[in-house]
């Protein structure tokens, strides 16, 4: 059927369905981004914690201080990215 001959009701129904599909696509993209962000954060956090643990195991005070400072800087930058200031 030609778009010019569709009823107003059909056109509105089609627009509503398209809007719903766009919203669902947006939500799925948002969920995917949140999952990826969480995975990257967790990976980086664990990497920092392993570095700190290694310095503690080796009783390397200098390496511990450096790793701790880097970890704190990481957390601060992450906090700023999320605008939790």
Domain around 23: 7-81
63 assigned to some structural domain:
yes
74 assigned to some structural domain:
yes
35 assigned to some structural domain:
yes
Q: Domains in the chain: how many in total?
A: 1
2 assigned to some structural domain:
no
List the one residue out of 48, 38, 50 whose CA is nearest residue 73: 48
33 assigned to some structural domain:
yes
State how far the Cα of 74 lies from the Cα of 78, in Å rounded to an integer: 6
The model carries a pTM of: 0.70
pLDDT(85) > 80: no
52 assigned to some structural domain:
yes
* Tens digits of residue pLDDT in 23-43: 999 999 999 999 999 999 999
List the one residue out of 77, 57, 53, 84 whose CA is nearest residue 67: 53
45 assigned to some structural domain:
yes
Percentage with pLDDT > 90 across the chain? 82
Owner of token pair 């570095």: 51
30 assigned to some structural domain:
yes
- Residue 65, C-beta contacts closer than 8 angstroms, at least 6 positions apart: none
């Amino acid at each position: 059927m030609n778009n010019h001959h569709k009823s107003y009701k059909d056109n509105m129904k089609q627009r509503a369905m398209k809007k719903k599909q766009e919203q669902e696509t947006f939500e799925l993209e948002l969920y995917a981004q949140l999952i990826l962000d969480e995975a990257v954060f967790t990976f980086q956090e664990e990497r920092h914690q392993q570095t700190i643990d290694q310095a503690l195991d080796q009783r390397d005070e200098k390496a511990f201080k450096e790793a701790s400072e880097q970890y704190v800087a990481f957390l601060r930058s992450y906090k700023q990215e999320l605008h939790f200031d």
